[in-house]
Structure formats: structure tokens, C-alpha cells
Structure 1
Amino acid sequence: MSAAPLVGYSSSGSEDESEAGVQTRPGSGARRRGQSPPPSQRFPVPDSVLNMFPGTEEGPEDDSAKHGGRVRTFPHERGNWATHVYIPYEAKEEFLDLLDLLLARAQTYVPRLVRMEAFHLSLSQSVVLRHHWILPFVQALKERMASFQRPETQLNVA
């Protein structure tokens, strides 16, 4: 039996030597693997594809009236998600009555104040997350919060 290798590899020469071994005839159309065709040989992109998503390059319209009067603290950037951690608060009738009294008084000084539909207790300020960070962030937060008991909140008014 012969001790010849199963696969023969060339010596580890420079890239120029290996590239010199690739020869193409003019007009044969052969190209190296992974190389894109010259611009003259590419197909044109149809207008229907180019106009598929009109206006997506500009940021979204920032109309605070669409989100309960809230105003961005930092500009929108494509791919970023404004995130905050909070505990939802289910408002009882006593809380809403007190809120209506306070709101009526406060609106004499700041007329644009409005009552929110949903309430929460913020545990963080707004932070920016990239889309691919969201799931790991939520999973890490759930793991860390799992050992805490859910608090019962109650508003006492004297």
C-alpha cells in the first residue's frame, strides 16, 4: 500500500500565486467565486421595488398630541427603542377622585395638563436599546426580579 495522502494540497504560497493560477479567457464570462458582476451586467432594480416603502428614510412624525402630550427627551433614531421599566398601577375610584380635584386646581396654573388613561410607577428613566438588545434585556430583568414578591400598593389619604 502506498502512503499517499487522500487529498493533495498545494503549498502555502502567497495569494498572488494562487490567484495567478485562475485564468479566464476574454469573453468566457468566468469569474472568481463571490465576485459580483460588473455594473454593466447587473439587472436594473424595478421602480416598484425602489418605491415599496416611501418616506421610510425620514424619522416618524413627532406629534405629542398622538401620545398623551408626552414629548421626546432625545431624538428618534432608526433602530433605537426608547425603553423604561415600570410597575403598572390599577387606579381605584378614590385615587381618581383625588386626581380630578388636584387636576382641576393645577389646570388654573398649567391649562394643558390632562388626565392620563393608565398609570404606573417608573423604576427607571428612559434608556435607548438597540432592537437586538431587547430580548436579552427583558430576560435578564425577569431573572433578577423573580426573587421579589409582588408588592401591594395602597393610597392612604388623611
Structure 2
Amino acid sequence: MSAAPLVGYSSSGSEDEDEAEAEARAQARPGAGGCRRAQSPLPSQRLPVPDSVLHMFLDTKEEPEDDREKHGGRVRTFPHERGNWATHVYVPYETREEFLGLLDVLLPHAQTYVPRLVQMEAFHLSLSQSVVLRHHWILPFVQALKDRVASFQRHQAPLPEIQPKVA
């Protein structure tokens, strides 16, 4: 049976009853509007937004400034988007005197080809490329990564003796 609402009409003709039933069924369907012909829809005018609200965040920038100097000269490979976190997996590298000596020899030669090269303060071995994580994915990602690497043993191999040759 149909669950059409009960409506009283003054006409008793069968044609008028068919129209009334069709209208009642149309109003009972979701998304059919639900307004009767006698009712007027709500006014479409919006209230004005107060000036205090309009000027509340004028000093905040929509797009963050991408300053290379703040990031050791690195450049983003994808644009910043609010709520996204650029993430990569790496193993930190503790520098030793031998490594720093080699770097002191190699860096000036490399700078003849790429003048903007600079020595970093900290070094690492990247295990992944940069990926984007939403904020709510960070903790599950870190936990899954910890679970995966927990079975690996630490390994510290001695550095081989390196004798840099200057030409």
C-alpha cells in the first residue's frame, strides 16, 4: 500500500481525486520539493556578513611562501596543500672525520659544475621518495613502519680508509 498522506478535497469527481493522489505522491517522494502550491518557498536573500568577520583573517596568507633558504636550498617537487604533509623515510648518518675530509675535497670540485651546492648540517640515507600523507594517516603510517623494521638488527660497519687524491 502507498503511504501517501491523507488530504481532504472539496470535489468529489474521480478526475480531481486522481490529480490529488498524484500530487500527494509527488510530494511524499524524497527530493520532490515538498512545497504545496499554496505555500511560498523561503526567501532566497542572505544576511550580510559582518565586517568584523570579513576582515578577521586579512593578515594570513592563503599560499605559504616557498623560501629555499629556509630549507637548505631544497625545492618542492609538488605544491603545498593545506592538510598534506610531505613525508619520506630515511636513516640518519652520523658523520665521521673521514667522511668530512672527503667532503671537504669533493665539494669545491662539484661547485665548479653546480655553484649553489652547499654542505649540509646533517646527513641521511633516503629509503623512500617524498610522499604525501594526510594528517590522520601519519600515526598509522609510523606504526606500520615500526612494525615492519622491528625484526631487522642494527648493523654498524666500519668505514673503509679513504685517501682522497687531489689532482
What range describes the TM-score normalised by the shorter chain of this pair?
0.5 to 0.7
The separation in 1 between residues aligned to 2:4 and 2:153, in whole angstroms, is 65
Partner in structure 2 of residue 136 of structure 1: 140
Partner in structure 2 of residue 155 of structure 1: 159
The separation in 2 between residues aligned to 1:47 and 1:151, in whole angstroms, is 62
Q: Cα deviation per residue 1:113-152 (whole Å; 9 max; x = unaligned)?
A: 1000010000000001111111111111111111111221
What is the DSSP-based 3-state SS (H/G/I as helix, E as strand, rest coil) of the residue aligned with 1:65? Answer: helix
What is the DSSP-based 3-state SS (H/G/I as helix, E as strand, rest coil) of the residue aligned with 1:120? Answer: strand
Task: Give the Å deviation of 1:62.
Answer: 0.8
What is the DSSP-based 3-state SS (H/G/I as helix, E as strand, rest coil) of the residue aligned with 2:104? Answer: helix
What is the DSSP-based 3-state SS (H/G/I as helix, E as strand, rest coil) of the residue aligned with 2:86? Answer: strand
TM-score normalised over the length of structure 2: 0.64
What is the DSSP-based 3-state SS (H/G/I as helix, E as strand, rest coil) of the residue aligned with 2:107? Answer: helix
* Aligned partner (choices 84, 101, 104) of residue 105 of structure 2: 101
Partner in structure 2 of residue 119 of structure 1: 123
| Length, aligned pairs only | 138
2:141 corresponds to which letter in structure 1?
F
Q: Cα deviation per residue 1:17-48 (whole Å; 9 max; x = unaligned)?
A: 7xxxxxxxxxxxxxxxxxxxx88897x76545
Q: Which runs of 5 or more structure 1 residues have no equivalent in the other structure?
A: 1-12, 18-37
Q: Which runs of 5 or more structure 2 residues have no equivalent in the other structure?
A: 6-26, 29-42, 163-167
Q: Does 1:84 align with 2:75?
A: no
What is the DSSP-based 3-state SS (H/G/I as helix, E as strand, rest coil) of the residue aligned with 2:115? Answer: coil
Q: Say what the alpha-carbon RMSD is for the aligned residues.
A: 3.5
Task: Give the Å deviation of 1:94.
Answer: 1.5
TM-score normalised over the length of structure 1: 0.68
Q: Work out the percentage of aligned pairs sharing the same amino acid.
A: 74
Q: Cα deviation per residue 1:70-93 (whole Å; 9 max; x = unaligned)?
A: 011111111111100000111112
Task: Give the Å deviation of 1:55.
Answer: 5.1
The separation in 2 between residues aligned to 1:152 and 1:73, in whole angstroms, is 32
Runs of 4+ more than 3 Å apart: 13-17, 38-42, 44-57
Larger Rg: 2
The separation in 2 between residues aligned to 1:84 and 1:64, in whole angstroms, is 18
Partner in structure 2 of residue 27 of structure 1: none
Distance 1:114 1:14, change over 3 A: farther
Partner in structure 2 of residue 75 of structure 1: 79
